[in-house]
A = this chain, B = another copy of it.
Amino acid sequence: MFKATSVKAALQASEPADSILVNGWVRTRRDAKAFSFVELNDGSCLKNLQVIADVGMPGYVETVLKLTTGAAISVRGELVASKGGGQAWEVKASEITLVGAADATYPLQKKGHSMEFLREIAHLRPRANLFGAVFRVRSRLAYAVHQFFQEQGFVYVHTPIVTGSDCEGAGELFRVSTLDPSSPPKSEDGLIDYAQDFFARPTYLTVSGQLEAEVFACALGNVYTFGPTFRAENSNTSRHASEFWMIEPEMAFTDLAGNMDVAEEFVKYLIRDVKEHCADDLAIFGKFVDKGLLERLEFVLERPFQRVSYTEAIEILTASGKTWENPVEWGDNLQSEHERFLAEEHFKCPVTVYNYPKEIKPFYMRLNDDGKTVTAMDVLVPGIGEIVGGSQREERLAVLEANMDHHGLNQDDYSWYLDLRRYGSVPHSGFGLGFERMLMFVTGMANIRDVIPFARTPGNAGF
């Protein structure tokens, strides 16, 4: 079989070629007197390959003059240096075959569709330049995640999606079941008999793989997860999805400072990698989505991350003289407006806030010697706010047990987790990075629905 060349490979050619085959979809066709110009795209890169079809070529009238936006074609011809200014190479076609037509009902032929409309045709929008770019960057960013950790010897762990436990001890969960919902089996007390459910217990979709990742860190040293997580929150914001991917490294023999080091390095690595490998795609975001994007990415790469304790952060916010929608004092959670003020206005750089009040943080975070704060840390970036949340974990059995009691958790449900502290317990730390949040930061896309292939949000599970 004659091997096809991708548009990307053709555009990066080092020399002309007498005979190539390129497949793809027609973006536009323009007819001049002696030629037609067909812009061909195959998704391998943002740019199109210009195809020149001479009016004298066989099938010119029957095929070329009927080519419409969205049609699939195969082009044979010669790769030659382009005389036009826009590209280095173009194809002088000797044969163009229509593979699959696209008639006048093809929704993407007109420009200027709203983002809302494009969400409704999520099965076609990856064919639009902007969304092709989003999903190529998504792919590269995911690969960069793996590279970062694998190159440093971290072990990738697939933590379970279906789980009987709820990591955060709270939160709204999706239930997973095979019981007949219209007449579930009941036990004598009239309650649903989950012993008859598929897993012989109530099960849910995971909200985090952290606790299971801790198991592996306490055996293999440095590990990370990268998988889907779920929140059944009924919140319709531009930053929340019900199904999203999360990265959760967990590191044995690592304290809070070491944890912050890795988190900051990781964020920079991802940005640097995408800048290097997706320059064309980033340019389109900089042009059409967010004019300040490239500057903001540069800014994060260049500046050292500022580190500030929660207590200091509260002092800065209080001293700022700002009027907050949500007034804030020691003991309160930081809201988005506070986080963005710290990163965008006060420090003018990414900020890592650490040592939060224990009352507003989960049971597994390590208690500091002050008895009031725990070793939590959040990385805040300009334009987004929190992008990373992590902590050093409580490795002292007695302190952890006391903290679980304080949070009203049943120790029996966590006996395996407590075993990690019974046998060869070690200081260990980790964090979570929301993959889609990072992707929004890197692309400037304002709505999480537009960086997910088929977004799941309240009321939406189409495709």
A255 CB contacts on chain B under 8 angstroms: 1
* Chain B: CB-nearest residue to A425: B100
Any B CB within 8 A of the CB of A287 = no
* Selected contact of A453 from candidates B101, B122, B159, CB within 8 Å: B159
Q: Tell me whether B179 and A155 are in contact (CB under 8 A).
A: no
A220 CB contacts on chain B under 8 angstroms: 43-44, 126, 132, 135-136
A426 to B74, CA, bound (A): 10
A160 to B421, CA, bound (A): 36
Q: Tell me whether B178 and A424 are in contact (CB under 8 A).
A: no
Q: Tell me whether A174 and B158 are in contact (CB under 8 A).
A: no
User: Which one, A54-62, A77-85, A192-200, is touching chain B?
Assistant: A192-200
A26 CB contacts on chain B under 8 angstroms: 424
* Selected contact of A135 from candidates B164, B176, B182, B216, CB within 8 Å: B216
User: Which one, A137-145, A319-327, A359-367, A373-381, is touching chain B?
Assistant: A137-145
* Chain B: CB-nearest residue to A226: B142
Q: Tell me whether B143 and A150 are in contact (CB under 8 A).
A: yes
Q: Tell me whether B157 and A139 are in contact (CB under 8 A).
A: yes
* Chain B: CB-nearest residue to A9: B153
A3 vs chain B, min Cβ distance (A): 9
Interface size range of chain A in the complex: 35 or more
Any B CB within 8 A of the CB of A357 = no
A323 vs chain B, min Cβ distance (A): 37
* Selected contact of A157 from candidates B162, B427, B453, CB within 8 Å: B453
Within 8 A of B (CB), among A418-440: 419-427
A395 to B356, CA, bound (A): 57
A139 to B222, CA, bound (A): 12
Q: Tell me whether A228 and B139 are in contact (CB under 8 A).
A: no
State whether A127 and B219 are in contact (beta carbons under 8 Å apart), knowing that A106-B423, A156-B143, A232-B198 are contacts in the complex: yes
Any B CB within 8 A of the CB of A201 = yes
A425 to B25, CA, bound (A): 9
Q: Tell me whether A232 and B178 are in contact (CB under 8 A).
A: yes
Count of identical protomers in the assembly = 2
A228 to B421, CA, bound (A): 30
A218 vs chain B, min Cβ distance (A): 8
Within 8 A of B (CB), among A238-290: 242-243, 245, 252-253, 255, 257-258
Contact surface of A with B, Cβ cutoff 8 Å: 1, 4, 6, 8, 23-26, 42-44, 70-72, 74, 99-103, 105-106, 121-124, 126-127, 131-132, 135-136, 138-139, 142-143, 146, 150, 153-165, 172-179, 181-182, 184, 191-192, 198-201, 203, 205, 212, 215-216, 218-222, 227-228, 230, 232, 234, 242-243, 245, 252-253, 255, 257-258, 395, 416-417, 419-427, 452-454, 456, 458-463
Interface CB pairs A-B, < 8 A, 15: A43-B220, A70-B424, A105-B422, A106-B423, A124-B423, A127-B424, A135-B157, A143-B156, A165-B463, A182-B184, A182-B192, A201-B461, A203-B461, A216-B453, A416-B462
9 closest pairs, A vs B, by CB?
Answer: A43-B220, A100-B425, A126-B219, A199-B461, A139-B156, A123-B416, A72-B424, A23-B253, A127-B219
